Amino acid sequence: MSIRVVVSDALNRRVPMFDTKRYAEFERAVADVVKGRAKYRLVHTSARSKRRYYSVRQGLYTLYYSVAADDPANTVFEEFLSDDEEDLIMDVFAEGHD
């Protein structure tokens, strides 16, 4: 089965700024997801689009990605965050409607 992998605009802008260690962790996490060996956790399902959002822990970071409900080969890598970055996002952005 072929997989169409997309990196979100937000993540795509930040990847070039990753230091060598973080980039290696990012590559490892992406490879684990693509090859089906990631230990993922479902974190959200969009009521509107039905996309399923998952998280995968890799070293000091968490990779967030989504999969289309009607096309499991359609995967978008959404974010790759440290614990501090996750805390900041949770503090700044209130949960709202999907």
Instruction: Provide the whole-model pTM.
Output: 0.82
What is the per-residue pLDDT for 9? 87
Q: Is domain 4-88 annotated with CATH 3.30.2310.20? A: yes
What is the per-residue pLDDT for 63? 94
Phi then psi for residue 59, to 5 deg, are: 60, -125
The residue ranges of the chain whose pLDDT is under 70 are 1-4, 90-98
What are the DSSP E strand ranges found in the chain?
A: 4-7, 40-45, 52-58, 61-68, 71-82
b/e for 6-43, b at 16 or more Cβ within 10 A? ebeeebeebeeeeeeebeebbebbbebbeeeebebeee
Rounded to 10 degrees, the C-alpha dihedral 41/43/93/34 comes to 60
